């Protein structure tokens, strides 16, 4: 089926007319959302994954938000080889200069300046007239052009801006040197037909050179972010701003994996494509879930656990005869490992490594040694090792949570109707040895209190989950713990056949993260200001 309306000629793109650039903002719009904050190492790992996935532009953060954000953007910019590194900046000199400095080491850099253009924002947020907004946009773009390879201009709240004024601002931004013009639906208000109409108007009315690309940035408040982004593409937009798993402000941004697979599966309809390696979509989704401690809903399109599961008898019967009966894409197309191979005690290192990599884990030799040893121990306890078990082994190892503290002893006892007690012994990498005991409401609480005393870290628990991993009564327990301190969330995982020990490992991972963070930031406060105004 082809779409009679798709824009073959697409004057709004310089390369192939059908090439849609994927601008990933997982580490900016996504990361600034409650529950999704990531520490520096987590951001670097995610950035590497996004480059491997093949995103065209990676928005690494908002350097003016905090020294921590600045440092993260600078590190990511230095790391990327082929992906354009992008930094967000308000239309003010300090932000733009900071973004330029953060991007200094990038192979390819983009400064993304944004300014509100809607009457509501002009009057109530900025206190600026149309002319003042126009002048500020031009001054911002002109300043940014000198500091990066390319400049993107975003008109915040574009979709509630008078169309003719928006076209005037975009024309001025393009004349000043912006090569990407982004029209965000900041508040997630529009419908696909309206978005298409607005992009068609802009493409027809903005004065610009041939290299200028129009971009969409849609929010999911009405569940329309992906539909709206695709409508913008249908009307000629050639950049889509999106995030892995659709994370982002409020109800989130458009989900990258959904946009990409819609264009791939329905390529004939859209007449467009991306350069994303779709087999890395599932690993990228899992990595983000792992780094943020936020699981993906089972029914999530493309990457949810049920996305390719066929439970009903009628569907299973159809699937066995021909996959096409109920499947419009193959699980392996999005990187879900096709085999249901079960590993056991006789499986070797190579099989383990292959399986872990298929599940999206990056494994070096040292990690493989450690996981293989634990795999063998587990294989003695359990007959069959399933994917869930392997995930848990790889996550439980949690390389990001290594040191400075190591737990050498853990004892707990529960007292019927009288709480519990725990004692721990820890060794610090500087040689210190600490032993502490504490009472608590239950064994897990007692362990947390003992760890607090031993390490001097406050563990204010905001979420605690224990779940069985794999199948059967011999399943392992996985503990996921989130605590809040210094205005940010900290996540830890632990896996063990003993759930109290799993919880202790999760808590220790957090203690280590906080300790390492403090060591990395002795000169700067941990507090992260996200109060720099709403962003596009």
Q: What residues line the site for Mn ion (CB under 5 A)?
A: 29
Nearest distance, CB of residue 295 and Mn ion, angstroms: 23
Report the SS3 class of residue 7. coil
Q: Give bridge partners of residue 157 from the DSSP assignment.
A: none
Q: CB of 534: closest distance to Mn ion in angstroms?
A: 8
For residues 131 and 143, what is the distance between their CA atoms, to the nearest angstrom?
18
- CA atoms of 85 and 50, how far apart (whole Å): 11
The minimum distance between CB 253 and Mn ion, in angstroms, equals 6
- Closest contact distance (angstroms) between CB of 536 and Mn ion is 5
Q: How far is the CB of 60 from Mn ion (least distance, A)?
A: 15
Question: Least distance (Å) from Mn ion to the CB of residue 5?
Answer: 27
Minimum CB–partner distance for residue 146 and Mn ion (Å): 26
- Which residues, 6+ apart, have CB-to-CB distance to 344 below 8 Å? 379, 383, 384, 385
Nearest distance from residue 217's CB to Mn ion, in Å?
Answer: 6
Of the candidates 209, 227, 277, 249, the one whose C-alpha atom is nearest the C-alpha of residue 25 is: 249
Rounded CA gap, 50 and 35, in Å?
20
Measured from the CB atom, the residue of 29 and 150 that comes closer to Mn ion is 29
CB nearer to Mn ion: pick between 36 and 490 = 36
CB closer to Mn ion out of 29 and 39: 29
Q: Smaller CB distance to Mn ion: residue 246 or 470?
A: 246
- Of 197, 200, 250, the closest CA to residue 225 belongs to 250
Question: In whole angstroms, what separates CA 18 from the centre of its chain?
Answer: 26
- Pick the closer one to Mn ion by CB: 154 or 483: 154
- By beta-carbon proximity to Mn ion, the closer residue of 29 and 97 is 29
Contacts of 340 (CB under 8 A, 6+ apart): none
| Complex with Mn ion: residue 255 or 481, whichever CB lies closer | 255
CA dihedral 308, 310, 314, 316 (to 10 degrees): 90
User: 468 and 494 in contact (C-beta within 8 Å)?
Assistant: no
Q: Nearest approach, Cβ of 32 to Mn ion (angstroms)?
A: 9
User: Is 29 or 445 the residue whose CB approaches Mn ion more closely?
Assistant: 29
Residue 224 has φ and ψ, to the nearest 5°, of -110, 10
C-beta of residue 53 within 8 angstroms of C-beta of residue 276 = yes
DSSP-based three-state secondary structure for 443: helix
The single-letter DSSP state of residue 280 is G
Instruction: Give residues with Cβ within 8 angstroms of 16, minimum separation 6.
Output: none
Cβ distance to Mn ion smaller for residue 29 or 51: 29
Smallest Cα–Cα separation from 335: which of 302, 288, 364?
302
Q: Which residue is nearest to Mn ion (CB)?
A: 29
């Amino acid at each position: 089926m082809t779409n009679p309306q798709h824009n073959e000629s697409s004057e709004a793109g310089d390369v192939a007319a059908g090439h849609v650039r994927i601008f990933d903002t997982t580490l900016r719009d996504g990361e600034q959302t409650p529950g999704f904050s990531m520490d520096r190492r987590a951001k670097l790992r995610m950035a590497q994954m996004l480059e491997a996935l093949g995103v065209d532009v990676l928005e690494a953060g908002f350097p003016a938000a905090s020294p921590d954000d600045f440092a993260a953007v600078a590190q990511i910019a230095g790391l990327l080889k082929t992906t354009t590194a992008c930094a967000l900046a308000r239309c003010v000199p300090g932000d733009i200069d900071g973004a330029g400095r953060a991007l200094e080491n990038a192979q390819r850099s983009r400064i993304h300046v944004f300014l509100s253009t809607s009457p509501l924002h002009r009057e109530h947020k900025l206190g600026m007239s149309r002319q003042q907004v126009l002048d500020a946009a031009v001054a911002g773009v002109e300043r940014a052009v000198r500091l990066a390879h390319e400049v993107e201009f975003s008109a915040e709240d574009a979709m509630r801006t008078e169309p003719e004024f928006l076209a005037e601002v975009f024309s001025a931004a393009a004349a000043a040197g912006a090569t990407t013009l982004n029209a965000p639906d900041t508040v997630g208000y529009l419908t696909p037909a309206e978005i298409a109409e607005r992009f068609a108007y802009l493409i027809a009315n903005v004065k610009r050179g041939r290299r200028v690309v129009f971009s969409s940035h849609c929010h999911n408040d009405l569940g329309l972010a992906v539909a709206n982004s695709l409508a913008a593409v249908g009307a000629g937009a050639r950049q889509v701003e999106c995030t892995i798993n659709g994370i982002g402000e409020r109800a989130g941004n458009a989900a990258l994996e959904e946009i990409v697979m819609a264009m791939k599966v329905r390529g004939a309809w859209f007449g467009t494509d991306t350069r994303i390696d779709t087999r890395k979509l599932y690993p990228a989704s899992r990595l983000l879930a792992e780094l943020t401690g936020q699981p993906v809903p089972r029914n999530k399109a493309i990457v949810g656990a049920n996305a390719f599961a066929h439970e009903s008898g009628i569907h299973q019967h159809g699937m066995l005869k021909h996959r096409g009966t109920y499947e419009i894409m193959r699980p392996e197309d999005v990187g879900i490992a096709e085999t249901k191979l079960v590993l056991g005690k006789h499986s070797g290192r190579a099989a383990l490594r292959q399986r872990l990599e298929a599940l999206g884990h990056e494994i070096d030799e040292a990690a493989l040694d450690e996981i293989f040893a634990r795999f063998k121990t587990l294989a003695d306890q359990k007959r069959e090792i399933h994917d869930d078990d392997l995930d848990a082994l790889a996550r439980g190892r949690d390389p990001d949570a290594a040191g400075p503290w190591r737990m050498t002893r853990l004892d707990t006892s529960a007292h019927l109707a009288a709480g519990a007690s725990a004692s721990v012994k820890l060794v610090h990498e500087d040689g210190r040895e600490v032993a502490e005991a504490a009472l608590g409401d239950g064994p897990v609480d007692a362990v947390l209190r003992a760890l607090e005393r031993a390490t001097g870290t406050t563990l204010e628990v905001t979420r605690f989950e224990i779940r069985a991993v794999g199948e059967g009564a011999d399943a392992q327990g996985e503990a996921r713990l989130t605590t809040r301190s210094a205005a940010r969330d900290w996540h830890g995982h632990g896996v063990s056949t003993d759930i109290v020990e799993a919880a202790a490992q999760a808590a220790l991972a957090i203690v280590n993260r906080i300790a390492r963070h403090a060591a990395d930031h002795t000169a700067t406060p941990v507090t992260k200001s996200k109060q720099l105004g709403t962003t596009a």
